Chains A and B, each alone.
Chain A
Amino acid sequence: MAQPSLQNTENPHTVEELENLAFELRSKLLHLCGTYEGAVHIGGDLSSADILTALFHHGLHVDPTDIANPTRDRFLLSKGHAAVCMYIAMSMRGFFSYDGIVDTYGQLDSAYGMHPCKVQLPGVEASTGSLGHGLPLAVGMALSARGRGESHRVVTLMGDGETGEGSVWEAAMAANSYELGNLVAFIDRNRQLMTSFDEERVFLEPYTDKWAAFGWNVVHIDGHDMGALVQAIDALPASDSRKPTVVVCETVKGKGVDFMERNLAWHAGSLGAADLDRAMAALQASREKESV
């Protein structure tokens, strides 16, 4: 089945361009984290930044000028606490104004808050935030698409921690039972919960085997390797195929800022002026190191 082409496929981004966009996304995240007084879930934002860049600038067939187009791909942020990362990724794709996000984030009557709200911000597909809710919603949207004979995909991004919620596995069974090949779940496998590292208290492993055992098509990649993300997206089975796909993305919480990486203290926080400079310098250094 041909995918509807809402995105500018004539001039697709190169992997290098996508990497630059991801760098810009991280810089903007840190900037917001430095200007907003309250806590930002910066650790899980940074671990999701490459995935969201790959989705909004390469994978998703969406049109920022026509947000209700019935043939658009649906994207649900199941890990709703990474909302700001999604808002900024979407602003870079043309959905929202970045200044609007930075100037109003978390303030009274702002559309941009800690967890996305469909009512206040119609450009997002669903109100999320409570963990384990995105996949059931995505199953419903995928069933709806199937029912109408539409060929778009429904894509969700979960954190690995939230897959401790039973509702995720209820929905995983439903997706398999209803053969929803139009459903794709990306998992930000940063291996950290809020207060501990995954395998310290909760054994998620053997992780990919669990998804395979639930009948899903499993793809396992480095979630910070833009080339791998692009390849995984390009290789997704057709939306009329019969198996849902999970893309387990190995990531690092706090990715790109050395003092935040794999540091439980940076699940959420805010940056003072000095820390912001330090974080920006670390991000720059990390980029130079990786481009060597």
Chain B
Amino acid sequence: MGSKTIQRLVLAVFGLGVLLLFVPIALGIMPRAFFEASCGLGRSFGTQIACYGFIWNALTTAVFIGIVGPVIGTYLVHREMALIGETLAHAAFAGVAIGTLLFAGSGWGTPLLLSALVAGIVGALAVQFLADRTGSYGDVPIAIMLTGSFALGTLVISLGGGFATVDINSILFGSIATVGGENVLLMAVLSIAIVGTVALTYKPLLYITFDEEAARVARFNVSAYNTLLIVLTAMVVVGSMQILGVILVAAMLVVPVAAAAQLTNSFRDSLFASVIVGESAAVSGLLLSWRYSLAPGATIVVVAIAIYLLAVAMPDRTGHASAE
């Protein structure tokens, strides 16, 4: 089938690009010559963009966001758990706040990111505990977790001397200037762990997403996979927060997936399509935000929503299928 070959080709080129370009940058093993060459190439096109280290860091992080956000989001959206990401982002915010007290840091230092990760995972386990106890990922426990952890974070920041001491803007709205090399490394490690885990558990996760009860009858450990999924979500959220900000980070879990669901018939295709949409939004949003000095998170989200609206406006998917 032609379309399948094209799909595989796109996937292979994309995967190879990530492996050869962005993984080495994240690991800090990309030779200097690469940056010098790309800086020179950029200059010949009249732009300085490729000459800044922080742009490469931000771009690399954005590329990973474009992969892991939609991959995990595909499972969350179709499980009707779309707002879990938002909740965990707020839990992670509390973690950042506690980190500012513990490490006297500000902005997106790596210790803060790690304390955000711990808080995010604790929040994830708390959400899962509430879900197990109440039998669903209900609105009310989710809303209590979301607002409660934001309140906790705000209190902790006030205790530590107030918002003057913390770069609250970059925490809430994201920033590309503060993505340090260590954070890129952390994001790469998280991403590899996330993609590896999903590749390994693709089948049970899909089964549970589609028909939880039948999966339970088939003796899949549904509760364990739910916990796994929600912990992976916390990892995605924390890794993506530096650029997208606490408030907007959940969009990358939801918007590309919603767009992909409009464009594809099969789950597998929708997973790949959501990554393509997420990647397009993350990379082009980041470049636009740099070019026009806009908030990166907001720009990425608006681009993603524009793609979603285009997907919705496309001819009806069902009619499209029968016309083939």
Q: Do A and B bind each other?
A: no
Which residues of B pack against A, CB within 8 Å?
none
Which residues of A pack against B, CB within 8 Å?
none
